[in-house]
Amino acid sequence: MTAILYLASAVAFIVGLKRLGAPRTARSGNRIAALGMLAAIMITLVTEDILNWEVVAAGLVVGAVVGAWAAVRVQMTAMPQMVAIFNGLGGVASALVAATEVLESEMTGIPAETVVTILASILIGSITFTGSFVAFGKLQGIVTGHPLTYPGQQVVNALIVIGLIGFAIWAGVSGDETGYWVVAGLSLLLGILAVIPIGGADMPVVISLLNSFSGLAAAAAGFVIESNPLIIGGALVGAAGLILTVQMTEAMNRSLANVLFAGFGTEGATSAATMSDKPVRRATPEDAAISLGYADSVMIVPGYGLAVAQAQHAARELADLMEERGATVHYAIHPVAGRMPGHMNVLLAEADVPYEQLLDLEQADPQFPQTDVVLILGANDVVNPSARDDPGSPIYGMPILNVDRAGTVIVVKRSLSPGFAGIDNPLFYEENTLMFFADAKEALEQTVSALRSL
Amino acid sequence: MSTLVVGITVFVLAAFVGFEVISKVPPTLHTPLMSGANAISGITIIGALAAAGIGAAPLAQVLGFFAVATATVNVVGGFLVTDRMLEMFKSRGDRERQAR
């Protein structure tokens, strides 16, 4: 009977995830999944012979208060950090479940087939925990966003992996509790060391991967306590995280191995010196307003710089104004525009941009030849034609938004400084490109008032 | 069949269901998808509740407490923040209705 009730929870997760796949049904999907979770918790509290009610209640209250407080308070720009922390907490919870199993088994002896799953749970959960907190630190700017590399780094990490395997085998064969704690310690260390050499700009990939890991850790814990809802829920999340990881690496034209091990972004500093001194066409707010005011079709290309400048609302105001003047306005969102998959869409939704206006790379790219004006706000590498034309460029082959095929391109940017990859952008020197040097928010506000007086 | 084999069967089938269901999600919803999925991975709370509730050794109870607390942050925070985000996603029609 209990198993059937748990199955209902698992079904709620699947239905919930399915409904998360369309804007209209997404909110109800999330609630269905939450109900499934509530049901699973209730079933557990009723059917398990819980002795330490005070421990359970304390954990639930503390967790609920902290979780709710964080969920209500977090800024949308900080969502990647938030998800990183939640991934880490999910991971450590799974590792702790396995660890208590080790402690309790002192009396009963660990069944042979459980040994492997306990070790897997401790290993994945611990790596997810520390790895996520380093990712959080990088996104928050507490840890440097630059890749931290040192000579022999790969060797050190390889030695830790070998040590992990050795201690895991020893723990499993000898049944010595110490072996499990060494595995836990080495896994915690590996989580830190594996993430520090990855650049801040690659964190979207890392968060997606750690999301997948937090699912796998839950599934491994499910094997330990022989619980199907954990295995199902964990497998679903493992799959979701993996899909997003692959999509992000494809959007960067990199392999997962390259993201994890290459220390990308370290060589960028040198190529920044090769910046072009070709002339650019400068635009005033009035120039921008005239271009935009008489355009029939406008595409806005937002980058993370837009969010940093808190200019989403100003962008929406400008878009509304252009629509009143009869233009069609869309936003072209590159997969790596934000700091996690889909981040930019959330930031624009927060500014009341209807989701029909948000186009992804495949939808937007074919439209540029028919677009009158492209307005680039805080994006750089994702509109760099070098990725298409220059085989020598470090970002060559990365799918880009081919904005240079549109009639006019207006680039709002503080200066000519290059993006994270440290690469000069030939787009800025094109004949049909206007450079509007300003902070994104100020630029948009000035353009709005210029457009009003047009 | 041993429970391990049953577990592996369930895992593999669930992973395939996950790939099928999620590969169709449009990029617009990727962030809520990830935070919603993240909340679902908090299902480990079931194991945490059992561990904290049954553990006899003091250390097991301490670890159990932290397992419940961290899993609960994951579950409560994850679902709430996802709901908060999805509330903001509005169609053009929703916006016009609101303006009226």
Give me the pLDDT at residue B1, please. Answer: 61
The verdict on residue B1 lying in a domain is: no
Select the more confidently predicted residue: A336 or A209: A209
CA distance A418 to chain B (A): 26
pLDDT of A145 higher than 80: no
Predicted pLDDT at A204: 87
A269 has pLDDT over 70: no
Kindly state whether residue B40 falls inside one of the protein's structural domains: yes
Of A100, A221, A241, the CB nearest to B64: A100
Kindly report, residue by residue over A317-362, the tens digit of the pLDDT: 999 999 999 999 999 999 888 888 899 999 999 999 999 999 999 9
B53/A52 Cβ within 8 A: yes
Alpha-carbon gap, residue B40 to A211, rounded angstroms: 11
Helices B30-41 and A343-350 pack at an angle, to 10 degrees, of 110
Q: For residue B67, give the chain A residue with the closest CA.
A: A93
pLDDT above 50 (res A270): no
Q: How far is CA A274 from the centre of its chain?
A: 31
Give the DSSP letter of residue A282.
B
Contact A230 B29 (CB under 8 A): no
A contacts of B58 (beta carbons < 8 Å): none
Q: B26 CB near a chain A CB, below 8 Å?
A: yes
With respect to residue B20, please indicate whether it lies within any of the assigned structural domains: no
Q: Where are the alpha helices (DSSP H) in A109-176?
A: 112-140, 153-174
Within 10 Å of residue A279's Cβ, how many Cβ atoms? Answer: 7
Average pLDDT on A254-275 reads 62
- Can you tell me the distance from the alpha carbon of A10 to that of A83, in angstroms, rounded to the nearest whole number? 22
* Among the partner residues A17, A90, A241, nearest to B21 by beta-carbon distance: A17
Task: Give the mutation candidate from A9, A11, A56 for the B interface (greatest B CB count, under 10 A).
Answer: A56
The whole-angstrom separation of Cα A354 and Cα A383 is 23
Q: Which of residues 1-20 of B touch A (CB under 8 A)?
A: 2-4, 7, 10-12, 14-19
Backbone dihedral angles phi then psi of residue A332, each to the nearest 5 degrees: -100, 115
List all residues 6 or more positions away from A41 whose beta carbon is below 8 Å from its beta carbon: B45, B46, B49, B75
**Is residue A329 within a helix (H) or strand (E), and if so which, with residue range?**
strand A328-333
Instruction: Give the gyration radius of chain A's Cα atoms.
Output: 25
As a whole number of angstroms, the distance between CA A322 and CA A23 comes to 25
Average pLDDT, integer, range A155-183: 88
Q: Do B47 and A228 touch (CB under 8 A)?
A: no
Average pLDDT over chain A reads 88
One-letter amino acid of A303: G
Structural domains in chain A, sorted by start:
1-73 (no CATH), 78-261 (no CATH), 271-452 (3.40.50.1220)
pLDDT digits (tens, 9 = 90+) for B20-63: 998 888 989 999 999 999 999 999 999 999 989 888 888 889 99
Best mutation target, B28, B33, B44, to test chain A (most A CBs within 10 A): B44
**Amino acid code (one letter) for B14:** A
Cβ separation B75–A63 shorter than 8 A: yes
Mean pLDDT of all residues belonging to chain B: 91
Please give the pLDDT value at position A380. Answer: 85
Give the pLDDT of residue B56. 81
- Above 70 in pLDDT, residue A266? no
The answer to whether A90 and B38 have CB atoms below 8 angstroms apart is yes
Contact B35 A82 (CB under 8 A): yes
Chain B CB contacts of A53 under 8 Å are 53
Domain-embedded: residue B43:
yes
Q: Which of A259-268, A357-366, A377-386 is predicted least confidently? A: A259-268
CA distance A299 to chain B (A): 17
pLDDT > 90 in chain A, percent: 57
Cβ separation A97–B47 shorter than 8 A: yes
Name the band, by pLDDT with cuts 50, 70 and 90, for residue A265: low
Task: Check A48 against B53: CB less than 8 A apart.
Answer: yes
What pLDDT, on the 0 to 100 scale, is given for residue B100?
66
d(CA A211, CA B96): 36
- The residue type of A42 is M
Q: Which domain holds residue B33?
A: 27-99
- Per-residue confidence at A187, pLDDT binned at 50, 70, 90? very high
Contacts of B24 in chain A (CB under 8 A): 21
Number of inter-chain CB pairs under 8 A, A vs B: 403
- Which of A72-76, A424-428, B77-81 is the least confident region? A424-428
Mean local confidence (pLDDT), B58-76? 94
**With contact defined as beta carbons under 8 Å apart, do A64 and B76 qualify?**
yes
How far does Cα A243 stand from its chain's mean position?
12
Nearest Cα neighbor of A218 from A227, A206, A205, A209 is A227
Position A59: which residue type?
G
Per-residue pLDDT, A419 = 61
Residue B2 within any structural domain of the chain: no
What pLDDT does A338 receive?
83
Choose from A140-149, A252-261, A270-279, A298-307 the range with maximum mean pLDDT.
A298-307
Residue type, A358: L
Between chains, do B7 and A56 touch, taking CB under 8 Å as contact?
Answer: no
Nearest Cα of chain B lies from the Cα of A320 at a distance, in angstroms, of 12
Which has the minimum average pLDDT: A307-311, A349-353, A384-388?
Answer: A307-311
In a domain, B7, yes or no: no
**Three-state secondary structure call for residue A163:** helix
Which one of the listed residues A381, A389, A390, A404 is annotated catalytic? A381
Please report, to the nearest 10 degrees, the dihedral formed by the alpha carbons of residues A249, A255, A259, A262 taken in order: -160
What is the reported pLDDT for A344?
Answer: 93
| Furthest CA-CA distance within chain B | 62
**AA letter at B70:** T
- For residue A207, give the chain B residue with the closest CA: B34
Q: In 3D, which of A276, A262, A339, A337 has the Cα closest to residue A80?
A: A339
A225 to chain B, closest Cα gap in Å: 7
Place of tokens 């557990």: A44
pLDDT above 80 (res A421): no
Task: Confirm whether A381 is a catalytic residue.
Answer: yes
Please give the Cα distance from A189 to A108 (Å, whole number). 30
Return the DSSP state at A134.
H
E strand or H helix at A411 = strand A408-413
What are the structure tokens assigned to A339, written together?
A: 């700091």
All residues of chain B having their beta carbon less than 8 Å from the beta carbon of residue A251 are none
Q: Is A204 helix (H, G, I), strand (E, B) or coil?
A: helix
How do residues A54-107 score in pLDDT, each as one tens digit?
Answer: 999 999 999 999 999 999 999 999 999 999 999 999 999 999 999 998 888 764
**Is the complex ipTM higher than 0.85?**
yes
pTM: 0.90
CA–CA–CA angle A115, A121, A125 (5° rounding): 155
Tokens 């679903």 locate to A236
Q: How far apart are CA A418 and CA A432, in angstroms?
A: 20
Q: Which of A48, A79, A96 sits opposite B31 (nearest CB)?
A: A79
Closest CA to A339 of A305, A310, A300: A305
pLDDT score of B12:
95
Structure tokens belonging to residue A454: 């047009």
Report pLDDT for A108: 61
Q: Are A341 and A335 in contact (CB under 8 A)?
A: yes
Q: H or E segment at A223?
A: helix A203-224
% of residues, chain B, pLDDT over 90? 63
B69 contacts in chain A (CB < 8 Å): 58-60, 62-63, 66
Question: pLDDT tier at A272 (50, 70, 90 boundaries)?
Answer: very low
Q: Note whether B97 contacts A: Cβ–Cβ < 8 A.
A: no
Which residues lie across from A409 on neighbouring strands?
A: A374, A433
Do A23 and B68 make contact, defined as CB atoms within 8 angstroms? Answer: no
Does A264 have pLDDT greater than 70?
A: no
pLDDT per residue as tens digits for the range A89-103: 999 999 999 999 888
**CB distance B40–A64 less than 8 Å?**
no
In angstroms, the CA A362 to CA A252 distance is 14
- What is the tally of structural domains in chain B? 1
Q: Does B35 touch chain A (CB under 8 A)?
A: yes
A144-173: average pLDDT: 86
